[in-house]
Chains A and B, each alone.
Chain A
Amino acid sequence: MLRATLKGMAARKARLILTSLAVVLGSAFIAAALVLTASIRATVDDLSGDAYKGADVIVQPVEPENRGDRLVRDGVAAETLAAIEANGDVADVSTTVTWMVNALGEDGKIVGGFAPTMAVNWGDESVEREMREGRAPEADGEVAVSAQFVTESGLGLGDTVTAYSLSTDETPYEIVGVYGYAGGRDSLSGSTELAFTTTEAQRLVFGGEDVYSAVAVTAADGVDADELLKALEPAVGAESEAITHQAYVDDLNAESAEVTSVIGYFLLGFGLIAVFVSVFLIANTFSIVIAGRLKEIAMMRAIGAGRGQIIRSVLAEAGLLGAAAAAVGAGLGVAAGAGLTSVIANGFLDTATTSVAIPWSAPLAAVAVGLGVTVLSALVPAVRASKTPPVEAMREAVKADKPITGITVTGLVVTLLGAAGIILGLNETFGSDDANLIAAAVGAGVVFIGVALLTAWLSKPVVALLGAVWSWSFAGRLGRLNASRNPRRTAVTAAALMIGVTLVTATATLLTSVKESLAERFDTTIKAELFVTGPVTASVPATFDPEVMDEIRAVDGVEAAVDLYYDLAQIDGTEQYVNASSDIEGAVTQFGGVVAEGSMKDLGEGEIAANDAAAEQLGIGIGDTVTATFSRGTEAHEFTLVAIIADNEESDGFYVDPAYTAEFYTPKPNMALVDVADGADVGDVTAEVEDLIADQPSVSVQNHEEYLSQVTVFFDYAIIAIQLLLALAMIVAVIGVVNTLVLSVLERTRELGMLRAIGMTRGQTTRMVTVESVTIALFGALLGIGTGLLLGWIVQQALAPTGIESFAIPTALIAAYLAASVLVGLLAAIAPAVRASKVDILGAISYE
């Protein structure tokens, strides 16, 4: 039997190659994801190992609990440094002073996008820097800059650069040196850097206090890291902590491991989707191949082959194919993973060296998944083949379609079950919000599967409808008829395509709805037309001089203008947003807020107002007291709650008197809201306000749309990322369309020969196959778009209570997908159509 299997496989090379391509791609993606994850982790680990290389103990300030990166940092005090230096076990000490700054480039704009600009002291030895041109900064007015900064700012040696921080105003510095990093790199992880003298760095980072971000200590000869740690304990004191270099690196690694494993699971998830799609393709191929061999199988059954033997022969074929393809896929995947690692490492991490790690799990999982999926996918066709009655060998060649009632009934039941889950979830039948959300989400997933099962049943009417478009050409009509000729086959092919399109459409619909909801709420609640604010990605939050406010108020056509300061403070032990304004009532009004309880008039010292969500979170009411510590605050203040503002999603948290802004993260206003008078020209006002803030580099004038797009640009990236990750699943689905068409054309060789004999031209043949292809592709895309919209709507409805109230359809994306599906249909048809038009008429019509 095995010999017969092998011979059969050799005779069907083309379709085997197409089928195995799907398995190869799926396995390769899985192997690549695993190798990539492991390699990035190894590379990042090397990177953390490079930090403070050679030091034995690192002394750093104790991070207060619940304090995120946005907060002002503490430092290691000068006395602590002196005590460390005086210790007999210490051979060498190096200090680091570093934090984010804003620097202005040649064009006067803040340098850098997503990666921050860092200030450091040149004496810092935590990373190896190599001076390329010029010299180290020796005076406070001098700076050395990283090569990456030169590239991004357009400034160079001898130029003057303006920089400022949370604690300093804009200050000009002369660029006296340009440096790179070990390994000839221009940058570390894409960031730009400015190196100052230690005192100037302390002024920028700590407002001039003689403190340090970290102190790296090297042990004297014969003292090991643990001994040094013990010896330093009395010197370090309570405000700082000492850890060994090893512990420091381990901490960094543990942090990055969390991120890399999330990336890894993400990649694996998309790999599995691609594998899932290839299940359809493989099952379809085996079904078609077996359908073409029914007579042969019936003949074998007639001469005494048992059902088990038939199943085994099909599964043996699947096993051989799966093993070979999975092995090739694993190999390719490992290679691709290794290659991608260096691309990512060089492109994004800016590491000097990349470590490629190939965990055993990568090839093993790839082969196991590839082989398993192939054999499992072939199981149903194999069992069906074994049920072929021997009389089939004597039947006529032309056969009626198999009924699809079973699969349709199952599909209906599954869809209804899913719908029930959704309805129960959306109607909040269950006790908790979580349970309702889960019921709706699981229901949505079940509906997805149900629709996939219903594709066979849907294919007839939908294809007929699509066919109306093609009926102008007879060849087109034949192609359309061919597409609906075997609903099961068309359905499986289209379903493979549907999966990717559904996922993209559903995410895009949801994200568009979120965007739309945000925009709508924003437009209805916020009175101000214009915002004076900076990019959310700046190293230091955008600020401007408070004096500008009066000038803005004086502009013709400005009804009102309010400034706004904000801070992330600790209130009763929780992180909360705190706002302040020279006109708090005005600010609340501009944000569409309404005082629900109490009064905000004369909000003075020791008084605080809260949004009702914030008040509810802390469980406080009017008259209650809270303690708050601001970002730069050294001590906690007591406040009495005097007003509660009705829930308003746009303004968050608490309001205090502007007197406290000195303790805020940034002591200057972060934003101004400008209310344009009715009848005044918004464009004119914008231009005038722009002139007023021309010398304030970190802020610009934005309207609602511009302001929101800063927040929502992330969603656009997310949609693009998901599409990229789904590209593989889409490619597998396209291979599926090609495969189905090639097999169908092979199967219909006689028919094509007959058509050509009675006068069908090559062009008509090509058109016929192309129309079939485009119809299948469009059907898949339509199903995907329909299901995706439905799923998107369900999730949006489920999330409506959290504020996602509008449902928006991503029309451009949908149009693009429809167009793309036509293109895919055209491309997929090329090979099969050429094959069909070149059918050897004589060979096709000769009696076998």
Chain B
Amino acid sequence: MSTASPVKTTAVSAEGVWKAYGTGEAQVVALRDVSVQFASGAFTAIMGPSGSGKSTLMHCLAGLDTTDRGTVHIGDTPVTGLSDKALTKLRRDKIGFIFQQFNLLPTLTAEENITLPAAIAGAKADPDWIKKIIHTLDLTDRLSHKPTELSGGQQQRVACARALASRPEVVFADEPTGNLDTRSGAEVLRFLRTSVDEFGQTIVMVTHDPSAAAYADRVVFLADGQIVEDMTEPTADKVIDKMKHFEELVAAAQEAAA
């Protein structure tokens, strides 16, 4: 996982992914023919209106949900068609997760929560690496606390540390700052940025917030289950601007589909 590599490898890729819920009249097509690559060592944000399929895409990429058609790869590993056991192992070894909430086990201390994936795998987490993350996240004097004794922002920082603890190939975050105030949110985002810059981590983050998206290297816009825009070097203003024209984008996409 070196940023020095001149050729950027692909950490996650989706090829012609379709996903629909329900059948007949009530059928909702959440993803239509989505193809997208996420480069190693890059921070990508996924944006789009509510119901556009952001979470669905992320779940399919992370092997939490199956696709109807199309293939998904994590690194060289094809995700599509894996058994539950293999998927579980894949998630455990190659993927990190940060959810909007309910990230931590209330029975464990912050430190135990951070090393939870390694413990589940029956492995020992790399102590130097853990120390480094904890230091970066400024959690050193919170390690022996239980989640109930931590603020929402601190809880989310612990979740970040846990996601990075096993050096996964990719970290998926679904609105990690959705429940936080601006300052706590900024701390989390700054850390995600740092982990990309300093540790070469790959991050895919779903967000509604243009200023959160601004921390990313690239923003992928989804609308009605399709990718409608791919923006590099985003700024909050550029994103807001794009969102203003969203209606037009959706209409254009639908026209193109028809």
Contacts and interface: CB of A to CB of B under 8 A. Distances in A.
B114 to A, nearest CB: 12
A754 B101 CA distance: 10
Contact of B106 (A398, A762, A764): A398
Interface in B108-123: 108, 116-117, 119-122
Nearest to A762: B84
A754 B120 contact: no
Contacts of A842: 59, 64-65
Given A474-B120, A482-B107, A761-B88, A400 B148 contact: yes
B92 A758 contact: yes
A759 B93 contact: yes
A481 B101 contact: no
A605 interface: no
A485 interface: yes
B105 A478 contact: yes
Contacts of A754: 97, 99, 102-103, 105
A478 B117 contact: no
Nearest to B59: A842
A755 B97 CA distance: 10
Interface string B171-196: 00001001000000000000000000
A759 B121 CA distance: 8
Contacts of A478: 105, 107-108
A82 interface: no
A760 B64 contact: no
B119 A474 contact: yes
Contact of A485 (B96, B106, B152): B106
B135 interface: no
Contacts of B120: 474-475, 755, 758-761, 764
A85 B104 CA distance: 98
Interface string B53-65: 0010001001011
A759 B91 contact: yes
Interface residues of A, number: 28
Interface in A102-153: none
B91 A398 contact: no
A397 B102 contact: yes
Interface in B146-172: 147-148, 152, 162
In this complex, the interface size class of chain B, counting residues with CB under 8 Å from chain A, is: 35 or more
Given A481-B108, A842-B64, A759 B102 contact: no
Nearest to A401: B148
Nearest to A750: B102
Contacts of A475: 120
Nearest to B56: A842
A55 to B, nearest CB: 78
Contacts of A847: 100-101, 175, 178
A750 B147 CA distance: 15
Given A397-B102, A400-B148, A845-B99, A759 B107 contact: no
A846 interface: yes
B85 interface: yes
Nearest to B148: A400
Contacts of B85: 761-762
Contacts of A620: none
Contacts of B59: 842
A146 B208 CA distance: 93
Contacts of B104: 398
B107 A398 contact: no
Contacts of B116: 755, 758
B152 A396 contact: yes
Contacts of B99: 754, 757, 845
A751 interface: yes
A770 to B, nearest CB: 16
A490 to B, nearest CB: 13
Interface string A184-206: 00000000000000000000000
B142 to A, nearest CB: 15
B97 A757 contact: yes
Given A758-B117, A841-B64, A845-B102, A399 B148 contact: yes
B136 to A, nearest CB: 20
A748 to B, nearest CB: 9
Interface of B: 55, 59, 62, 64-65, 84-85, 88-89, 91-93, 95-97, 99-108, 116-117, 119-122, 147-148, 152, 162, 175, 178
Interface of A: 396-400, 474-475, 478, 481-482, 485, 750-751, 754-762, 764, 841-842, 845-847
Given A475-B120, A485-B107, 19 more contacts: A398-B102, A398-B104, A398-B147, A398-B148, A474-B120, A485-B106, A754-B97, A754-B102, A755-B116, A757-B62, A758-B92, A758-B117, A761-B89, A762-B84, A762-B88, A842-B59, A842-B64, A847-B100, A847-B101
